[in-house]
Structure 1
Amino acid sequence: MHPKPHAIFATVTASTLLLGGVATATAHAAPTQAQSLYAPSALVLSLARGEDPATASVERAVTLTCAPRPGGTHPTAATACKELAAVQGKFADLTAGPSNRTCTRQWDPVVVTAQGVWEGKRVAFHTTYGNACEMAGSVNGTSVFAF
């Protein structure tokens, strides 16, 4: 059974009258997000016991944000950001220096990791040291992994 044409017309007319006689359509645009002038730099740094970063037990971890301004839970974020900027975000350059420290040859591995984004590019860094003494000697003078 088809509806009568005048019943459909009455429904359309009533709807138009409820809208003030003007048929309107509204489109809701998604709010625009402010564009940053800086490429993001946000990292999670960790220190863990073990050889493999995937299975090591994390003892400490901090967040480090460098752009647009230093922040996060890192105790010396501004200094760590300056050090990373000096080596263009190459963590290996921070940890590659020779150690002046005398350490035992005890095998108790420690792994440091950095994951996140540096100047808009993904970062996944890790390096393993034979023990905490070796690690402290290697990163001595830098604040990036001093937390």
Structure 2
Amino acid sequence: MHMSRSRFRWAAVLAGMAAIAQAAPAQAAGPAGSYRLTVAPDHGPSTVRSLFCDPDGGTLDAASRACDQLRSVDGEVGRIPARTGACTLEYAPVRVGAHGRWHGAPRHFERTYPNRCAAARDTGGILFGE
């Protein structure tokens, strides 16, 4: 009888280890996309936010909307369609950046715009949580 209890314990241990091994790759994979977003005006402090997709989250407002935009362009910020609308001709340069990974591939975007409105319009608002 002692042998059957021992076998039962080992079977339970092995079953538990198998369950952990199957779950580990899914946990290790992490989010489909992970970005560090920066907005740096010529004068004033920079804003840095994080964005994660699948599951959607991070410190960026409207993370789900931003992730939807990224999903439509394979994670490339530069390919997000610009929004329509006019901006003023105010010259207050702002440098924006999005650096991270999308399904394991590196993604980098950095550009300087004449003002915040132009930056938000041309990037679909993704860097501003709009």
Query: Aligning the two structures, in what range does the TM-score lie when normalised by the shorter sequence?
Result: 0.5 to 0.7
2:52 aligns with: 65
Deviation at 1:99, TM superposition (A): 4.8
Provide the C-alpha distance between the structure 2 equivalents of 1:65 and 1:98, rounded to a whole number of angstroms.
Answer: 22
**Which consecutive segments of 4 or more residues in structure 1 shift more than 6 A?**
none
2:7 aligns with: none
Structure with greater Cα Rg: 1
2:33 aligns with: 41
SS of match in other structure, 1:35: helix
CA pair 49-138 structure 1, distance change in 2 beyond 3 A: same
Aligned mate of 1:89, from 52, 75, 92: 75
5+ long unaligned stretches in structure 2:
1-19
What RMSD over aligned residues (CA atoms) do the two structures have, in Å? Answer: 2.8
1:145 aligns with: 127
Using the size of structure 1 for normalisation, the TM-score is 0.60
Q: For residue 119 of structure 1, what is the amino acid of its counterpart?
A: H
Q: Deviations over 1:100-142 (max 9, x none)?
A: 21411x4321111001111111122111101123223323xx3
Q: For residue 63 of structure 1, what is the amino acid of its counterpart?
A: S
Q: How many equivalent pairs are there?
A: 107
**Would you tell me which structure has more helix in proportion to its own residues?**
2
Matches within 5 A, 1:111-122: 111-122=95-106
Q: Deviations over 1:22-52 (max 9, x none)?
A: xxxxxxxxx96811267741111111124xx
5+ long unaligned stretches in structure 1:
1-30, 51-55
2:85 aligns with: 100
1:125 aligns with: 109
| Residues 99 and 134, structure 1, Cα contact 8 Å, conserved in 2 | no
Using the size of structure 2 for normalisation, the TM-score is 0.67
